[in-house]
Amino acid sequence: MLVLSRKKGESIIVGDNIEISIIDIQGDSIKIGVNAPKDVKIYRKEIYDQIIQENIQATQNISNLGKNLDKLKDYKK
């Protein structure tokens, strides 16, 4: 992991088209601004982790749906 020190008003450039700026610092809270193309998805880590878990759950539900459909087909016979 690359660790960089930045002060309020300073920025970091990622690749050719993403700029991360330190907007404000108050105590242990830091406001960060991200300037990136609209097609770049940006999530807070805790939200991203939640999306991953929901996707895993959804695929499990689809798997269970397939099993239940198979049971229903057997029941109709």
pTM value is 0.68
With contact defined as beta carbons under 8 Å apart, do 20 and 10 qualify?
no
Please tell me the predicted confidence (pLDDT) of residue 48. Answer: 96
Please provide the distance, in angstroms rounded to a whole number, between the alpha carbons at the two ends of the chain. 59
Please tell me the predicted confidence (pLDDT) of residue 20. Answer: 98
Q: Where are the domains of the chain?
A: 1-38, 43-76
Please tell me the predicted confidence (pLDDT) of residue 59. Answer: 78
Please tell me the predicted confidence (pLDDT) of residue 56. Answer: 87
pLDDT in tens, the chain (77 residues): 999 999 999 999 999 999 999 999 999 999 999 999 999 999 999 999 999 999 888 777 666 666 767 777 766 65
